Amino acid sequence: VRGDLPMQRCKPVLDSVEFLEKTSKEEVGSIFADIVAHMGQD
């Protein structure tokens, strides 16, 4: 993912995601931070 999609198209997709496992807010925050860090490396 390189950020080619505008936020208007990304937000509905992110809002419709259903997680199969229940995770804590801290764990979700950590995973999100990892994703952002990897996106920044591209």
Asked whether residue 26 is assigned to any structural domain, the reply reads: yes
Tens digit of pLDDT for each residue in 18-35?
A: 767 777 778 888 888 888
pLDDT at 7: 65
pLDDT band of 39, cuts 50, 70, 90 = confident
Mean pLDDT across the stretch 7-20?
Answer: 73
- Among 12, 14, 9, CA closest to 35: 14
Asked whether residue 2 is assigned to any structural domain, the reply reads: no
Tell me the DSSP string of 1-42.
--S-S-HHHHHHHHHH---SS---HHHHHHHHHHHHHHHHH-
pLDDT at 6: 67
Q: What's the total number of domains in the chain? A: 1
Where do we find the tokens 């995770």?
23
> Is the pTM for the entire model greater than 0.85?
no
Q: Which amino acid is at 11?
A: K
The domain in which residue 24 lies consists of: 7-41
Asked whether residue 11 is assigned to any structural domain, the reply reads: yes
Asked whether residue 21 is assigned to any structural domain, the reply reads: yes
Asked whether residue 19 is assigned to any structural domain, the reply reads: yes
Q: How far apart are CA 32 and CA 28, in angstroms?
A: 6
